Structure 1
Amino acid sequence: MRRIKIRKHSVRNDSSNEIESPNHSLPNEQNAELCTILAVNEKRLRETFQACSDIVFRPICSNPEVLLIYTDGLIDTKTLDKVVLTPFLFNGAPRGLNGDSISGQIIQEQLVAISQVQTVSTFNDVSDGILKANIVLLVEGENKALVADLKGFEKRAVEEPEAEVSIRGPRDGFTETLRINTSLIRRRIRSSKLKMDSVTVGQVSQTEIVLVYIDGIVSNTILEEVRKRIDRIQIDGVLESGFIEEFIEDAPWSPFPQIQNTERPDIVCASLLEGKVAIIVDNTPFALIVPMTFWTGLQAVEDYYERSIYTTFVRLVRYSLLNIALLLPSLYVALSTYHQQLIPTNLLVSIANSREGVPFPTFVETLLMEFMFEGLREAGIRMPKAVGSAVSIVGALVIGQAAVQAGIVSAPVVIVVATTGIASFAIPRYNFGAAYRLLRFPMLILAGMLGLYGIISGLLLMIIHLLGLRSFGVPYMSPVAPQIPQNLKDVFIRAPRWSMNQRPSFFSGANKRRIPEGQKPSPKRGRAGK
């Protein structure tokens, strides 16, 4: 057995360890080619990673000499010791055989247990490989380096998403690890037509982004538009998918979201089967889905796992609660202030008695209670989970009861604001519900100024805005405006699965047929087939 000397494990980039080479000048360009002298390559890389204490340079004195470079904390050290260091300790670096290069021999004899190994020839590729949780092997006499995948950083386990809880359906959710997220999608759609294009965004962060779509189902026009918008992003770092969302949306000043975000792989797969495009961003569990329509924001995941009759009823209830969340406070202010004749007499007398002694107009006390309710909701979100719900519930009860007893606000206003808050919780998408929470205040101001005329004016402006809004070229109100009758089976109602045989026309490409016709269940047909 051949004895090999191992130099001391070095983590620091000390300039004293750098080897001067008077006959070879160091490359100044980041994309310069590697040279055959290991000392020159090491000096250049040490200068690149100066003051980076987590970058480990481990020289191995063998014949020929080998330099191992990796990022501490991002590497599976057990596999590194077993697959790379142990073979070098006992056998040394393999010599060239039959004219083959040393790099080729290392791949063949010692790195065969590593799934992904590639050869690079520039300093830029070496630096990227180190920063992307790979190990890099540089060999004396070789102008190429080996980049081997040995990722071993800490990652969160697959868990159920807390923001999108479902009664029935899968319990797994995305994590902050990109390849785990793509694997969750691949497990559900096991087809070679499922494509995943990778792109890097962020000049400093170098964040990897994956565009996911199904070839033949996706619209090529929408796919190319998504690629163009992502390619033109110029930013120093991308820390979450929200960074990407703000760069690619159609109307940045609209309160309505034009890009859907989700933590659930089943929602992403269902959207891909409709012809949409998913954007998976590394280091975040939230995936983006484009394009998005108004009706997508009102659809919950249980709508497609329960029977259509029950789902249709719940969906109609949800639409009613949506109108209550937007209009109930403004209607109360408009009717009690300007249009008392529209209120039944007994109810009007009860409201008048409850408002006796209240120092503020109806508009002011409603606005104050709405603001206080939003403050309690925000405080409940920011507080720890153990006390967040208790603070929001107890705070609402205590403040509401104390305000009524003190005569600051009337009891009907507390009832109206509480009912509005409960109705807003019925909106499945958080960002979509936030749009209605925001619009509730302008509607309330219009009602306090103009009564029912102000409410009608606000609704007209909102409808005009929605009709002109688009998401990656798709009308936001489709398939209602413009109306597509064959796509209305999943808007106000949810038709049975066997009857929804067409994909959405605005999303899908050439393959618009989802389910063949004639699959309605029939007991007579089943007996006849026996």
Structure 2
Amino acid sequence: MKGDISPHIEENEAYIRKRLENCDDFIIRPMLLGEEKKIRCLVVYIEVAVSNMVLEDSVIGKLVNHMWEMPAEEILEFVRDNGMGISDVQPMDSMNQAFASMLAGNALFFLDGYARAIKVSSKGYPNLSVSEATREKVLRGSKEGFTDAVKTNSALVRKRIRDTRLKVKQKTLGNRSQTLVQLLYMEDLVRPELLEDLENRLDSFVIDGVLDSGVVEQLTESNWLSPFPQFQTTERPDKCAAEILNGRILLLCDHSPMGILLPAVFNDFLQVSEDSYNRFEIVSLQRIIRYCAVLITLLFSGTYLAVTNFHTQVLPTNLILSFSEARQGVPFPGILEILFMEIAFETIREAGIRMPGPLGGTIGIVGGLIVGQAAVEANLVSPIVVVVVAVTALCSLAIPSESFSAPFRLLKFGFILLGGTLGVFGILLGLYLTASHLAGLKSFGIPYLSPFAAKTHAGYCGERDSIIRIPFRFLTRRPIYARENQKVKLRTKESQKKKQKGGSL
């Protein structure tokens, strides 16, 4: 058999048993149907993924039970004419297509004399149910988070955008894993060139398996040497829905509870979903704190070394004397102190993440206190170094996105080396190199420093929603991601009446 389905069930059964040899998790169940039990049929499914077929409330149970007492001559006619009317039942023309459906968690039904396989949808593979988002905590807004099932995740977004212009395009990646990937976007808002570019990137590689969205992210990003993420990951359906309405694309990958938003620029990583739900004064203050946290994470440790080693004249005399007294008895130079404590805190952070359950938080807090206190008492480091490293670690936790704080924690060590060897000139050199890299970085053609570096785009007013957020009633335009003719997202009803049909909303 070359992949086509035979009308003779013996041939189909032989092919199936040969292909599923040593696959003990598959169930191959032959049966006899009809009043005289003369019509042979075959049900094939994965044991855990498919509901018990004899249950009255299962789709396959209803199909089998309906044909159990039918006359033999009517069974084929029923399948050809009416069988497909049962919910979640679909005919398959080839064995490859049928096996792909079965491996996705469905059941296959073969009938003697019928040269097609019938796919019967069932409960599918075990998955986590919808639960609270754990990584992106908010005080106001939805508490729902994505699950491991891609279709459940797209349904959570569809629940929030009840518009047929929200399109869901499916692709299958991985020759062996056959992982389902979905692209969600608003048909009238997304830029066509952006969607085409993303699809071309997804089609440009061939891989055995895609087990998480992180694999797709690494294979499709253009500037793969950059430590800065060009995709924004989130586990919140409400955030994804809001960004889709701004013209962005959401990529969902089966088996992954994280959605990928693109394009993604610097400013996006420092915003959270509840920024749209709170008053502009509070949101503006919180965003200023986040931007300051980025700078402190990157510069504080290196600047401390630069000032204390090379430029003590910029410090008050009392502060210099305090630093000198605190360092008495410490045998190591300042740069080794900082590196030792930074590595120790990063190790404690990693241990806190890997430890199970509540032990993780305990390890992080207690471990940091014990290591810091013990290092000071043993004269390995000075107390001021513990303060500097603790402030740096605290500020890194204030950055909303873990994937965005990671590159700053990495570059922090570069600034420590530059500040400890070249002083303030080293810090300025590091800032120049970092800013130059960010200025040249793009995410699907959008400058990474948008909205600060994209003011040449016609009609772009995204700078109103950057570090400072203006009142919500004045945020009338979409960001740079949306089409030029779909910039307006908020207007009064009076102005709406003056517009012709088919406007920007």
Q: Same fold (TM over 0.5)?
A: yes
CA contact (8 A) 1:272 1:278 kept: yes
Aligned twin of 2:79: 103
Q: Give the match for residue 473 of structure 2.
A: 498
Q: Does 1:422 align with 2:404?
A: no
Q: Which residue of 2 aligns with 1:41?
A: 12
SS at match of 1:67: strand
Q: TM-score, normalised by structure 2?
A: 0.92
Q: Secondary structure at the match of 1:255?
A: coil
CA drift at 1:434: 0.6
Q: Which letter maps to 2:340?
A: L
Letter in structure 2 aligned against 1:329: S
Distance apart, 1:105 and its partner CA = 4.7
1:81 CA displacement: 6.7
1:306 positional shift = 0.7
SS in 1 for 2:245: helix
Tell me by how many angstroms 1:426 deviates. 0.6
Q: Deviations over 1:225-255 (max 9, x none)?
A: 1111111121101111001000111211111
Q: Which runs of 5+ in 1 are unaligned?
A: 1-26, 521-530
- Distance of 1:51 and 1:487 partners within structure 2: 59
Establish whether residue 70 from structure 1 lines up as the match of residue 70 from structure 2.
Answer: no
- Residue 321 of structure 1 is matched in structure 2 by 293
What SS is found at the alignment partner of 1:188?
Answer: coil
Give the 3-state SS of the residue equivalent to 1:385 in structure 2.
coil
Deviation string, structure 1 residues 177-216 (Cα, Å, up to 9, x no partner): 1221111111100001000000100000000001000011
Partner of residue 360 from structure 1, selected from 321, 332, 339: 332
Q: How far apart, CA to CA, are the structure 2 residues paired with 1:420 and 1:201?
A: 40
Instruction: Indicate how the Cα distance of structure 1 residues 82 and 136 shifts in structure 2: closer, same or farther if over 3 A, else same.
Output: closer
Residues 338, 128 of structure 1: CA spacing in aligned structure 2 closer, same or farther, 3 A cutoff?
same
How big is the shift at 1:501? 0.9
| Matching residue within 90, 94, 98 for 1:122 | 94
Instruction: Note closer, same or farther for the CA distance 1:93–1:290 as it changes in structure 2 (3 Å cut).
Output: farther
Q: Which letter maps to 2:200? A: K
1: CA distance, partners of 2:230 / 2:248? 13
Structure 1 105/353 Cα, relative in aligned 2: closer, same or farther at 3 Å? same
CA distance in 2 between partners of 1:141 and 1:361 (Å): 85
- Indicate conservation of the 8 Å contact 1:76/1:153, yes or no: no
Larger displacement relative to structure 2 (303-312 or 56-65)? 56-65
Q: CA deviation at 1:95?
A: 2.8
Question: Deviation at 1:397?
Answer: 1.0
- For residues 467 and 375 of structure 2, what CA distance do their matches in structure 1 show? 40
CA positional deviation for 1:115: 2.0
- The residue correspondences of 1:23-172 to structure 2 (distance < 5 A) are 27=1, 29=2, 32-61=3-32, 62-77=37-52, 78=55, 79=58, 82-89=61-68, 91-92=69-70, 95-96=73-74, 101=77, 103-105=79-81, 107=83, 112=85, 114-172=86-144
Q: Is the 8 A contact 1:498 1:519 kept in 2?
A: no
Larger Rg: 1
1:343 Cα shift? 1.0
Going from structure 1 to structure 2, the CA distance change for 1:93 and 1:144 (only over 3 Å counts) comes to farther
Q: CA deviation at 1:102?
A: 5.0
Residue identity opposite 1:163 in structure 2: R
Amino acid at match of 2:474: S
Q: CA deviation at 1:88?
A: 4.0
Whether the 8 Å CA contact 1:68–1:138 is kept in 2: the answer is yes
Q: In the alignment, which residue of structure 2 is the partner of 1:275?
A: 247
Q: By how many angstroms is 1:153 displaced? A: 3.5
Give 2:343's match in structure 1, choosing from 360, 371, 391.
Answer: 371
Measure the CA separation in 2 of the matches of 1:323 and 1:441: 14
Once the 2 structures are TM-superposed, how far is the Cα of residue 119 of structure 1 from its aligned partner? 1.2
Query: AA paired with 1:66?
Result: C
Alignment match, 2:501 = none
SS, match of residue 65 in structure 1:
strand
In structure 1, which of residues 481, 486, 489 is the aligned counterpart of residue 453 of structure 2?
Answer: 481
Quote the offset at 1:517 in angstroms: 5.7
SS at match of 1:236: coil
Give the drift of 1:452.
0.3
For 2:106, give the aligned amino acid: N
The structure-2 alpha-carbon separation of the partners of 1:487 and 1:518, relative to structure 1 and needing over 3 Å to count, comes to: farther
Q: CA contact under 8 A between 1:93 and 1:106: conserved in structure 2?
A: no
Compute the displacement of 1:330 (Å): 0.5
- The number of equivalent residue pairs is 484
The CA RMSD measured in Å over matched residues stands at: 1.8
Give yes or no for contact 2:26–2:46 (8 Å, CA) kept in 1. Answer: yes
Take 1:260 and 1:33, find their aligned partners in 2: how far apart are those partners? 43
After superposition, give the CA deviation of every residue in 1:320-352 in whole Å (9 maximum; x if it has no partner).
122111111001000000111111100000000
1:168 positional shift: 0.5
1:95 and 1:102 in contact (8 A); partners too: no
Tell me if structure 1 keeps the 8 A contact 2:212–2:256: yes
Q: CA deviation at 1:94?
A: 5.4
Which runs of no fewer than 5 residues in structure 2 stay unpaired? 496-505
Deviations, residues 460-512 of structure 1 (Å, cap 9, x unaligned): 00000000001111111112113266210111111121111111124435311
Looking at structure 2, the residues matched to 351 and 508 of structure 1 have their Cα atoms a distance apart, in angstroms, of 56
CA distance in 2, matches of 1:306, 1:94: 67
Instruction: Report the secondary structure of 1:211's partner residue.
Output: strand
**TM-score, normalised relative to structure 1:** 0.88
Q: Which moved more, 1:487-496 or 1:272-281?
A: 487-496
* Residue 210 of structure 1, aligned match among 173, 182, 205: 182
